[in-house]
Amino acid sequence: MTSQNLLVELFVEELPPKALKKLGDAFANQLADQLRAQGLASAESVVTAYASPRRLAAHVTHVWLKAADKAVQQKLMPVAVGLDAAGQATPALMKKLQALGADVSDPVAAVAALRRAPDGKAEALFYDSLATGAALDTGLQKALAEAIARLPIPKVMSYQLETDCELPGWSSVHFVRPAHGLVALHGSTVVPVTALGLKAGNLTQGHRFEAKVSPVVIADADHYAATLERDGAVIAGFDQRRFAIVSQLAGAAEKLGPSYQVLMDDALLDEVTGLVERPNVLVCEFEEQFLEVPQECLILTMKANQKYFPLLDAQGKLTNKFLVVSNISPDDASAVIGGNERVVRPRLADAKFFFDQDRKKTLASRVAGLDKVVYHNKLGSQGERVARVSRIATDIGMMLAVEGDSTIAMHAQRAAMLAKTDLVTDMVGEFPELQGIMGRYYALNDGLPSDIADAIEDHYKPRFAGDELPRNQVGVVVALADKLETLTGMFGIGNLPTGDKDPFALRRHALGVIRMLTEKDLPLELGALLAGAVPAFGDKISEATSALIEFIYDRLAGSLREQGYSAQEVDAVVSQRPQRLGEVPKRLAAVRAFAALPEAAALAAANKRISNILKKAQDVDPHVSEVLLKEPAEIALFAAMKDVAPKAKAQFEAGDYTASLQTLAALRAPVDAFFDNVMVNADEMDLRLNRQGLLKSLHDAMNRVADLSKLAS
């Protein structure tokens, strides 16, 4: 039986642009998966998704007109249940066969047609039949219904559709947008399926204004995209349309001159791709006076409100030119260009007005206004929160003070007090995404030092995975204080993340704390930082430092595994709960180097054995009496430790963790000899305690850098 390619298209009203690509991919993949499940398509069938503002479509190669018949083997019941002593069918067997549609008019023949085969210890009856393969029309109908039902629709619409029958009336349809057409072609043959109250055909619609013909006739499945582009002026493929936009944007910037570069971001490109059927990029401009406004404001309003692409100069500064992706291509584009320039002008004027008005008041004068902004009903206002962050930042700044210089603490305290004041400005009220950014501009306008201004912007960083860290130490201190305040407060009132719900982004805040402590290698201990944040809350929270510490170490372990460290390496280091997180990368490097040594496996296994012995013994004193060392192997181990342990300890204290672990590798032979020749739990109590003490001192020496027992397989 030969196969042909299949094309299915749903023609609808304008789809949500931000969800378009996801909808297109889901529709095509679900349709193909359902066809494969019914045997109408194979694993080798290639699926191509199409998604434009007014259509979802799928092209599937090698689709059969009818699926192959399939042999079905079905276990019925044990022979002892299905047949009586005379070998005749029991009522239970006859009822089962009837339910399966088997011919039971002749019970003897029905039993003879069954197959007996071993099933575990018993013998069972099996019914072998041939299932007729699905026909394409019924199979596609089922696949189409499933594909539509499983679409990740952001919000379903309900609309009325006139019924196509003798009795006039209306039926309710539920879909992401009203649907107006359905195409289903197997090769060049229409497959008679229905969906959303529509009957399939081979007609669709092209561009609203620029299609050459209406309707557009799709002659066969393989010429769908080419026909739409030729006759309908529509680029059906999402990726092809996005590529055309990127190419045109780059080309337009190049024509303006080598100093121009387009500010493209993936989210905006995807959204614009979901808005146009055939892109046409045009160059527009606005008055240069608006460039006096911080470029972040202008860029945001152009991208978020108008879906425009700003143009930067060679230094990354915003120019007064921008690019528009139009959905029409008139011979004279001046009207389109002029219209877009008129539309953007009020937006930019608003931004300039907000900026000018905000600068009339200092940030310091806005601090009192934060008392009217609610932060959390259990934790008070933003004003109270700022006071807490300021206190925590001052304490951290003093921890980092060098030779009594309190400049960092003073500047951090000032920056923390002002960090949230831009929340009550007009600009941030209009564009919340600019919080922090506008605070920096206003701080510089107020004449504050640059490190304070930078800290006001940077205290939100890192805002997401891979984001940059604050650019100076004052910013790091305030960012740490801000995140610690959030974590301590939320844990203190029991407002913890659950499952995928984390409304206060506590996981992100924890990772931010980890990154700053680690990547900046700050001489701060985690436990002291968390404990130091608690007094700032007074009696508003309950003590939850221990739970918060475990939460942060869990985030640390997950982050390290994502960076490529093995679970064993991570567990060996993190299980020791290192207080200086800046040491963690060096400890991991040391563990990895140690694990590559030939002595590593034996020492890790011995360490695990020692850990188990000490757990059972409990409260072991690491003191060793040489007088009680009787066996040559324990004498040799003690001597080796007297030589090796001090060197390893000195290297550890100097921060050379790799050398410390490699020095300890010399203990492998005496450790192996000890376990081969010495009974730790001797009958004599003094010998037993002395040997346990020897193992305790060995365990302490070996596990300063990491818990080596975690490396044992």
Mean pLDDT over 390-397 rounds to 96
pLDDT at residue 168 in the model: 58
**Which residues fall within 8 angstroms of residue 128, CB to CB, at 6 or more apart?**
71, 72, 73, 74, 115
Helix (H, G, I), strand (E, B) or coil at 10: strand
| Residue 673: pLDDT band with limits 50, 70, 90 | very high
pLDDT at residue 132 in the model: 78
Helices (H), 310-402: 334-358, 382-399
CA distances from 231 to 204, 225, 257 (A): 11, 10, 35
Supply the mean pLDDT for the chain.
93
Whether residue 641 contacts residue 667, with contact meaning beta carbons closer than 8 Å, is answered with: yes
Edge-first strand order for the sheet with 189-190 is 47-52, 55-64, 3-12, 179-186, 189-190
pLDDT at residue 411 in the model: 96
CA separation for the pair 311, 701 (Å, rounded): 61
Q: Is 211 left (phi over 0), alpha (psi -120 to 50) or beta?
A: beta
Could you read off the pLDDT of 362-388 as tens digits, one per residue? 999 999 999 999 999 999 999 999 999
The answer, as to whether pTM is greater than 0.85, is no
pLDDT at residue 172 in the model: 85
Environment class of residue 41 by beta-carbon count within 10 Å: exposed (0-12), middle (13-18) or buried (19+)? Answer: buried
Given CA atoms 584, 589, 592, 598 in this order, what sign does their dihedral have? negative
Closest C-alpha to 529, from 550, 545, 507, 505: 545
| pLDDT > 60? residue 52 | yes
| pLDDT > 80? residue 139 | yes
**Which residues fall within 8 angstroms of residue 200, CB to CB, at 6 or more apart?**
182, 183, 184, 190, 191, 192, 193, 194
Whether residue 572 contacts residue 706, with contact meaning beta carbons closer than 8 Å, is answered with: yes
Mean pLDDT over 622-628 rounds to 88
| pLDDT > 80? residue 130 | no
| pLDDT > 80? residue 333 | yes
pLDDT at residue 171 in the model: 78
| pLDDT > 70? residue 166 | no
Task: Give strand ranges (E) for 365-430.
Answer: 374-376, 380-381
pLDDT at residue 163 in the model: 63
φ, ψ for residue 528 (rounded to 5)?
-65, -40
- The overall longest dimension of the chain from CA atoms, in Å, is 109
**Which residues fall within 8 angstroms of residue 348, CB to CB, at 6 or more apart?**
286, 287, 290, 293, 298, 301
Mean pLDDT over 502-518 rounds to 95
Whether residue 481 contacts residue 517, with contact meaning beta carbons closer than 8 Å, is answered with: no
| pLDDT > 60? residue 581 | yes
CA distances from 708 to 168, 664, 702 (A): 80, 11, 7
**Which residues fall within 8 angstroms of residue 508, CB to CB, at 6 or more apart?**
463, 464, 502
Q: In this prediction, what percent of the chain has a pLDDT beyond 70?
A: 99
pLDDT at residue 164 in the model: 60
Amino acid (1-letter code) at residue 643? D
Q: In this prediction, what percent of the chain has a pLDDT beyond 90?
A: 77
**Which residues fall within 8 angstroms of residue 434, CB to CB, at 6 or more apart?**
296, 297, 300, 422, 427, 428
Whether residue 139 contacts residue 158, with contact meaning beta carbons closer than 8 Å, is answered with: no
Q: Domains of the chain by range and CATH?
A: 3-67+135-231 (3.30.70), 75-131 (no CATH), 238-358 (no CATH), 380-564 (1.10.3210), 584-711 (1.10.730)
Mean pLDDT over 526-546 rounds to 94
Mean pLDDT over 74-101 rounds to 85
pLDDT at residue 267 in the model: 94
pLDDT at residue 282 in the model: 97
Q: Hey, what are 76's tokens? A: 């019925």
| Residue 440: pLDDT band with limits 50, 70, 90 | very high
| pLDDT > 70? residue 116 | yes
Helices (H), 563-599: 567-574, 584-595
Q: Hey, what are 664's tokens? A: 């300890």
| pLDDT > 90? residue 540 | yes
pLDDT at residue 169 in the model: 60
| Higher-pLDDT residue of 334, 107 | 334
Could you read off the pLDDT of 228-274 as tens digits, one per residue? 999 999 999 999 999 999 999 999 999 999 999 999 999 999 999 99
CA separation for the pair 512, 534 (Å, rounded): 19
> In this structure, what DSSP letter does residue 75 have?
E
Burial 592-617 (b: 16+ CB within 10 A, else e): eebbeeebbebbbbbbbbbbebeeeb
Environment class of residue 460 by beta-carbon count within 10 Å: exposed (0-12), middle (13-18) or buried (19+)? Answer: buried
CA separation for the pair 336, 607 (Å, rounded): 76
| pLDDT > 60? residue 288 | yes
Environment class of residue 261 by beta-carbon count within 10 Å: exposed (0-12), middle (13-18) or buried (19+)? Answer: middle
| Residue 131: pLDDT band with limits 50, 70, 90 | confident
| pLDDT > 70? residue 1 | no
| pLDDT > 60? residue 165 | no
